[in-house]
């Protein structure tokens, strides 16, 4: 299938899901997950109007950024880091991404704070939550976020925490993940209440994103309130891993 056809289908699914749940499609940002895919495919996607790209691997993202600058393509692309980030690679990502979705530990958040302070910038991040409590996945627990959101926000002045992210379990039946998406939305709402009650309306106001839903389940995620969906296979086709 052609990339243009795939994109058309994804956008019409997003619109249908928004319509069904009384949401405005402008509330949902499509992140085209381009990991393992060549710049050429990203550039096709860009030509069709996409601006948000998700990458999982720091080295791959850096190579693509360098190469796209050299070729003078993707000039205003927004790069999203969505994969597990090691603290020793934080410095390559801070200042070079629109949003880091995958902040999965306090240790990593502290490293991002330190590097952002050093560079005198504020870095936008999401906190990754392991809602389904999968052994194999990174992330904070729901309880950790609930009990420490105030400290997570306040002890990191060079980081803007813009919301929450989760990767739901792999399933053939998207509806199975509905409860996880709902739980993430409820957790976000609770965090906002906590911040408002602490008189931090500004911090509460920017804490609104829900990055959830991938190729298999983004429609359900949108119905449950996703503001960002991360779609790879549904746009670029299957990935061939050689990493």
Ligand X SMILES: *Cc1c(COP(=O)(O)O)cnc(C)c1O
**Contact footprint for ligand X (CB under 6 A):** 33, 35, 56, 82-83, 167, 214-216, 230-234
Smallest distance, ligand X to C-beta of residue 123, A: 18
Smallest distance, ligand X to C-beta of residue 104, A: 11
Residue by residue, DSSP assigns 100-161 as: EEEE-SHHHHHHHHHHHHHTT--EEEEEEB-TT--TT--SB-HHHHHHHHHHHHHT-TTEEE
Smallest distance, ligand X to C-beta of residue 37, A: 10
For ligand X, which is the closer residue by CB, 102 or 116?
102
For ligand X, which is the closer residue by CB, 161 or 204?
161
How far, in whole angstroms, is CA 140 from its chain's centroid? 15
Smallest distance, ligand X to C-beta of residue 168, A: 10
Residue listed under structure tokens 């928004």: 18
For ligand X, which is the closer residue by CB, 76 or 238?
238
Smallest distance, ligand X to C-beta of residue 239, A: 7
DSSP H stretches of helix in the chain: 3-20, 39-47, 58-70, 90-93, 106-118, 142-154, 178-197, 201-206, 218-223, 233-236
- Contact between 21 and 222 (Cβ < 8 Å): yes
For ligand X, which is the closer residue by CB, 138 or 150?
138
Of the candidates 144, 160, 164, the one whose C-alpha atom is nearest the C-alpha of residue 221 is 164
Burial class of residue 241 (count of CB atoms within 10 Å of its CB; 0-12, 13-18, 19+) = exposed
For ligand X, which is the closer residue by CB, 127 or 204?
127
Q: Whose CB is nearest to ligand X?
A: 232
Smallest distance, ligand X to C-beta of residue 56, A: 5
**Rg, Å, the chain Cα set:** 17
Residue 72 CB neighbours (<10 A): 7
């Amino acid at each position: 299938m052609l990339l243009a056809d795939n994109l058309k289908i994804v956008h019409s699914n997003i619109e249908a899901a928004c319509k069904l749940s009384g949401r405005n499609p402008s509330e949902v940002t499509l992140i085209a997950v381009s990991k393992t895919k060549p710049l050429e495919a990203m550039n096709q996607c860009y030509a069709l109007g996409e601006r948000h790209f998700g990458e999982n691997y720091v080295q791959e993202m850096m190579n693509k950024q360098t190469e796209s600058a050299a070729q003078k393509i993707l000039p205003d692309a927004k790069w999203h880091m969505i994969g597990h980030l090691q603290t020793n690679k934080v410095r390559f990502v801070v200042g070079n991404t629109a949003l880091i979705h995958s902040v999965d530990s306090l240790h990593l958040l502290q490293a991002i704070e330190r590097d952002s302070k050093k560079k005198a910038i504020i870095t936008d991040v999401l906190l990754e939550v392991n809602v389904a409590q999968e052994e194999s996945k990174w992330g904070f627990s729901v309880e950790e976020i609930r009990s420490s959101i105030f400290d997570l926000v306040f002890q990191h002045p060079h980081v803007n925490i813009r919301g929450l992210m989760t990767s739901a379990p792999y399933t053939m039946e998207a509806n199975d993940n509905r409860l996880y998406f709902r739980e993430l939305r409820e957790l976000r709402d609770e965090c906002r209440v906590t911040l408002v009650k602490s008189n931090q309306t500004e911090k509460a106001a920017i804490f609104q994103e829900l990055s959830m839903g991938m190729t298999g389940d983004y429609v359900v995620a949108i119905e449950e309130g996703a503001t960002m969906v991360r779609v790879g296979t549904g746009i670029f086709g299957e990935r061939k891993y050689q990493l």
